[in-house]
C-alpha cells in the first residue's frame, strides 16, 4: 500500500491575500496531481490538481493586490460588485439563454425551488451571530441538488461559514472546483469583501466593532489547466525576476484606478437601466 496521497492536500498560512494566492498556485504547480479535465482539448496536457486549505491571517493586510490577477482593476471591481452588491443579478434568465444564477443571488435570495420564497442567507448569518457570536450555524449554501447536478456551469462556491473570535469575524469559503491561475485570486478578493460587509452589518446590529479576521479558502479541486501551462510558466519566470513588492500593489496605489472603475461601472449600470 502506497504512503503517498492520490490527491495532494496543500495547507498554507499566509499573512495577506497576495502572498497566499501566489504560494498556493506555485505549490499546486510543484505538487499537484496530473489529471484530465472535462474542458481539455485533444492536445492539452493533464491539469495539475490538489486540494487546498489556505488560511490568510489578515485578508486586508497590504499588499493586498497581486499584479498577476486575470484581467485588470476594472474587471476586479466589476466582480467584487457582482458578488457583494449583486449588480448583475438582473442578468439571470436561463430560459433566454442568459445566466442561471449569480453568487449574490444564491446568497441573498436563495430558492430551493422556483416556487419557494427567496431566503436572504446573508441576513440570517448576521442574525445568528448577533444572537450567539460563537455559534457554529452561521453559514450560507449555494448548491441546488437536482438543478445544479444537471447544469452546464454549476456554481463553484458551495458555502460560506462564519464565526466570531475575539471580536473578529472569521470566514471560510468552501469551493468544489477552483481555477487556480485564472479565477482564484479574484474569488478570494471578492469573498473577503463579502466578509468585510458581514462584519460591518454585525457591528451595526450589536453596537460594537467587529473586525475582519482570518479568511480560510478551501478548495476540493484547486487546479491549473494544461491549456495555459505556457502562460503559467511565464508567470513563474516573473517570480524569479521581480521582488514580492514588484509583483503586488497596495490598495492605496491602485485607488485612482478603483475610483475610475466605479465611475465607469455606475455609468454602465445607468445606461442598462435606461434601456
Distance (Å, whole) CA 255 – CA 139? 32
CA dihedral 42, 48, 54, 56 (to 10 degrees): -80
Question: What's the pLDDT tens digit per position in 65-83?
Answer: 999 999 999 999 999 999 9
Element (H, E) at 96: none
pLDDT for res 258:
98
Question: What's the pLDDT tens digit per position in 170-195?
Answer: 999 999 999 999 999 999 999 999 99
Element (H, E) at 178: strand 168-179
User: Which residue ranges form the domains of the chain, and what is each CATH number?
Assistant: 9-274 (3.30.572.10)
pLDDT grade for 30, boundaries at 50, 70 and 90: very high
Q: Report whether 78 contacts 70 (CB < 8 A).
A: no
**Number of residues written out for the chain:** 275
Distance (Å, whole) CA 158 – CA 219? 10
Q: What is the largest CA-CA distance in the chain?
A: 65
pTM metric for this prediction = 0.95
Does residue 102 have a pLDDT over 60?
yes
C-alpha cell at 175: 469551493
Give ∠ CA 228-31-237 in degrees, rounded to 5: 50
Amino acid at each position: 500500500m502506497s504512503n503517498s496521497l492520490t490527491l495532494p492536500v496543500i495547507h498554507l498560512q499566509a499573512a495577506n491575500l497576495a502572498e497566499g494566492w501566489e504560494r498556493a498556485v506555485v505549490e499546486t504547480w510543484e505538487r499537484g496531481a496530473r489529471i484530465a479535465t472535462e474542458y481539455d482539448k485533444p492536445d492539452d496536457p493533464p491539469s495539475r490538481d490538489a486540494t487546498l486549505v489556505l488560511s490568510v491571517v489578515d485578508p486586508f493586510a497590504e499588499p493586498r493586490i497581486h499584479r498577476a490577477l486575470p484581467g485588470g482593476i476594472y474587471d476586479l471591481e466589476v466582480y467584487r460588485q457582482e458578488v457583494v452588491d449583486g449588480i448583475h443579478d438582473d442578468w439571470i434568465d436561463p430560459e433566454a439563454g442568459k445566466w442561471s444564477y449569480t453568487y449574490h443571488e444564491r446568497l441573498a435570495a436563495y430558492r430551493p425551488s422556483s416556487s419557494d420564497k427567496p431566503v436572504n442567507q446573508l441576513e440570517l448569518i448576521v442574525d445568528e451571530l448577533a444572537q450567539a457570536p460563537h455559534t457554529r450555524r452561521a453559514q450560507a449554501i449555494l448548491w441546488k441538488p437536482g438543478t445544479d447536478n444537471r447544469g452546464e456551469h454549476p456554481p463553484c462556491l458551495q458555502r460560506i461559514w462564519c464565526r466570531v473570535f475575539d471580536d473578529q469575524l472569521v470566514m471560510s469559503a468552501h469551493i468544489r472546483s477552483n481555477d487556480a491561475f485564472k479565477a482564484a485570486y479574484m474569488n478570494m478578493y471578492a469573498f473577503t469583501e463579502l466578509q468585510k460587509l458581514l462584519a460591518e452589518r454585525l457591528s451595526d446590529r450589536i453596537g460594537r466593532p467587529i473586525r475582519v479576521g482570518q479568511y480560510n479558502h478551501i478548495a476540493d479541486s484547486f487546479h491549473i489547466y494544461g491549456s495555459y501551462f505556457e502562460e503559467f510558466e511565464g508567470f513563474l519566470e516573473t517570480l524569479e525576476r521581480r521582488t514580492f513588492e514588484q509583483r503586488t500593489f497596495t490598495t492605496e496605489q491602485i485607488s485612482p484606478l478603483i475610483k475610475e472603475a466605479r465611475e465607469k461601472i455606475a455609468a454602465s449600470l445607468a445606461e442598462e437601466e435606461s434601456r
